[in-house]
């Protein structure tokens, strides 16, 4: 953790769950944190809690509704103006939505908006800050749901045929695929100072999905299963490891479970699918990878 002193780390969804647990652990190591939350008062409260618990006063906040592309882009602009260098980007914010499809005010299905579009905009938008770090790292929180629940239609990324667990599994699969795609694009353009990896935190006893209405049966089973879930601190372990460990220096384009590389769903894990999702995101968001912007 000595390596974390003076490192600037942005964590989205850091006001609870594994995001908050990771933030506390990284603050203990001396990192300069930027914690993101959607509610300003709650985010300020967590900021003060982290400072009080760790003694680290280098904890800044940024607030944005990452369901909205406009808010996400505004947050990118704010961070770039306040922090010319970002050493580590942790895309942790995520959601499983209700049994009935819900769209954002921008017309995007909410699961894909938060779990995929926001991380894409943050990764591509903050590359100019990350490339200024001598050891930039991007870590995307995915899920084993990409193996269990994903039924992607690569001709219809925007989820017209909706169910909550399928939408979540698909979004987390797409997130892994674009992590691999960005890793490859950076390599192709001679950028070896930024690594991009994804991870599964395990089933964690947080507020995640507890307010989602998945139907009475899944709601009931979820309450029972939560008794056997990991603590937020246990769920954050691999996340902190990927942010801090020298063991993975130069390791990029990988998917991790419990600090070890793991297999991505082989049914969908190929370069062609990576390109389809990446190209769709570039067109949908109007944001593209370009070395000219770095």
**Token reading at 52:** 């009080």
Backbone angles phi, psi at 62, to 5 degrees: -145, 140
Backbone angles phi, psi at 178, to 5 degrees: -75, -25
Ordered DSSP codes for 161-218? S--HHHHHHHHHHHHHHHHHHHHHHHHHTT--SEEEEEEE--SB-SSTTTT----HHH
Contacts 24+ apart (CB under 8 A), 217-220: 218/165
Task: Tell me if 79 sits within 8 A of 126, measured CB to CB.
Answer: yes
**Token reading at 166:** 């399928």
Backbone angles phi, psi at 59, to 5 degrees: -130, 110
241 assigned to active site: no
- Among 162, 168, 174, 241, the active-site one is 168
Nearest-CA neighbor of 113 among 157, 155, 150? 157
Distance CA(196)–CA(62), nearest Å, equals: 22
What is the rounded radius of gyration, in angstroms, for the C-alpha atoms of the chain?
Answer: 18
**Token reading at 74:** 């505004």
- Three-state DSSP class for residue 276: helix
Task: Tell me if 198 sits within 8 A of 171, measured CB to CB.
Answer: no
Could you count the other beta carbons within 10 Å of the beta carbon of residue 37?
Answer: 26
Active site residues: 168
């Amino acid at each position: 953790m000595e390596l974390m002193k003076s490192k600037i780390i942005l964590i989205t969804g850091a006001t609870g769950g594994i995001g908050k647990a990771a933030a506390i652990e990284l603050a203990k190591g001396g990192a300069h944190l930027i914690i993101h939350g959607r509610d300003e008062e709650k985010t300020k409260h967590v900021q003060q809690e982290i400072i009080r618990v760790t003694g680290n006063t280098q904890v800044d906040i940024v607030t944005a509704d990452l369901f909205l592309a406009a808010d996400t882009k505004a947050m990118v602009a704010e961070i770039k103006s306040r922090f010319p260098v970002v050493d580590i980007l942790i895309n942790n914010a995520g959601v499983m939505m209700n049994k009935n499809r819900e769209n954002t005010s921008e017309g995007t299905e909410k699961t894909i908006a938060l779990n995929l579009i926001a991380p894409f905009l943050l990764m591509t938008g903050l590359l100019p800050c990350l490339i200024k770090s001598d050891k930039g790292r991007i870590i995307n929180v995915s899920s084993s749901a990409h193996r269990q629940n994903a039924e992607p239609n690569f001709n219809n990324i925007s989820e017209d045929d909706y169910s909550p667990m399928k939408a979540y599994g698909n979004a987390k699969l797409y997130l892994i695929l674009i992590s691999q795609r960005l890793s490859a694009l950076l390599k192709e353009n001679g950028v070896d100072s930024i690594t991009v990896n994804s991870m599964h935190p395990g089933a964690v006893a947080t507020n995640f999905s507890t307010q989602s209405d998945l139907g009475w049966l899944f709601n009931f089973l979820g309450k029972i299963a939560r008794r056997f879930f990991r603590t937020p601190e246990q769920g954050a372990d691999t996340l902190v490891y990927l942010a801090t460990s020298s063991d993975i220096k130069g390791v990029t384009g990988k998917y991790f479970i419990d600090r070890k590389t793991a297999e991505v769903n082989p049914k969908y894990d190929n370069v062609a699918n990576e390109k389809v999702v990446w190209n769709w995101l570039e067109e949908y968001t109007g944001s593209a990878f370009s070395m000219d912007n770095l």
